[in-house]
Structure 1
Amino acid sequence: MSATLDLSDALQTFLAEQGFPRDAVNVFNKDKATPLMLAVRLAPPALARELLAAGADIHAENADGNQALWLACVGENAENIRLLIEAGADIQHVNCTGATPLMFSASSGRARAVAQLLAAGADPAFETGLGLTALDMASTQECLTLMRDSVRRRKKP
């Protein structure tokens, strides 16, 4: 006999609006995204927190090999990024193109996400198969400065 999840009305409504069953936290939609992936990008932190408490898989991957942390960086909601990092999200996860969440955030100018990822230990010098780093991909001066400062701090004895 399986246990029934006691999900809030707000979460059940969100799930239904996104095309998921009202009681499922670890299913994929037609785009191979999970409720958590969509919630951390689109919804307030309370829904992401509830999904995590209900056992949502932070390591599930979408069709591009991205995990929920990547999608949280797309939405650049600081609280959702924090929740995932505290829940054990892999900050160095590499997607099918060889990119990390830090690389995406730097290349798209999401400085707040860059700062959070760096504070959590993301490596700005990590290289793709083509030898590119998040430093190489920085699209704004702010992102570049954040990463350069992080590299300098790491090199100090």
Structure 2
Amino acid sequence: MREEAKLTPFEQWLEQRGFAPLSEVTVNGCGEHAVILAAREGRSDVLAYLIRERGVDLGVCDAYGNNALWAACFAESAECVALLLQAGIDIDYQNPSGSTALIYAASAGKHAIVAQLLAAGANWRLTTADDFSALDLAANRQCLQILRDLSRGVRAD
């Protein structure tokens, strides 16, 4: 392995988080996927590197069944969300409980992310295994208003 001083910033990021920076392996000893961790940290630079240079699998999930888009929503990183959507991640992926990134973002009160996902075409009608939609679970007034307007056919321009 090369000295840390000779590693690129992206390789250093990988190494610091337990990944083999010069390997194609993108899962660390804790079972974390690099693409999910980069998204969860809001590291759009690392995420772009992983997508463009490493060709990471966007279909991987964490131990809870959530994908990198969910992690980017957790970080409230519009840049990471945009990168993942441009790379072709499934915007309507449902985790084992049926929750989508949109449902999560609405339930966490992340209204800017809710608006971004809806603008990108997220299906606001999907429901969890318990039959709750993003509108049902909206955690704050902003999320509720965005989703209500959409359900009533009002454009949010």
TM-score normalised to the size of structure 2?
A: 0.86
Shift of 1:70: 0.5
Alignment length (residue pairs):
148
Amino acid at match of 1:28: V
Shift of 1:50: 0.8
Give the structure 2 partner of residue 95 of structure 1: 95
Secondary structure of 2:32 counterpart: coil
Shift of 1:27: 2.7
Shift of 1:121: 1.0
Shift of 1:120: 1.0
Amino acid at match of 1:106: A
TM-score normalised to the size of structure 1?
A: 0.86
Counterparts of 2:103 and 2:24 in 1: how far apart (Å)?
Answer: 28
Amino acid at match of 2:10: L
Counterparts of 1:55 and 1:75 in 2: how far apart (Å)?
Answer: 22
Amino acid at match of 2:27: F
Matches within 5 A, 1:56-135: 56-135=56-135
Unpaired runs of 5+ in structure 1?
A: 1-7
Could you tell me the percent identity over the aligned residues? 36
Matched, 1:23 2:22: yes
1:28-76 alpha-carbon deviations (Å, 9 max, x no partner): 2344321111111214322111110120111111111111100000011
Unpaired runs of 5+ in structure 2?
A: 1-6
Counterparts of 1:28 and 1:40 in 2: how far apart (Å)?
Answer: 14
Describe the shift of the 1:43–1:125 C-alpha distance in structure 2 as closer, same or farther (beyond 3 A): closer
Give the structure 1 partner of residue 142 of structure 2: 142
Counterparts of 1:73 and 1:26 in 2: how far apart (Å)?
Answer: 25
Give the structure 1 partner of residue 3 of structure 2: none
Describe the shift of the 1:31–1:98 C-alpha distance in structure 2 as closer, same or farther (beyond 3 A): farther
Amino acid at match of 1:135: L
Matches within 5 A, 1:39-50: 39-50=38-49
Coordinate RMSD, CA, aligned: 1.9
Contact 2:107 2:137 in 1 (8 A): yes
1:69-116 alpha-carbon deviations (Å, 9 max, x no partner): 000000111111000011111111011221110111011111111111
Secondary structure of 2:152 counterpart: helix
Contact 2:18 2:29 in 1 (8 A): no
Give the structure 2 partner of residue 4 of structure 1: none
Shift of 1:125: 1.8
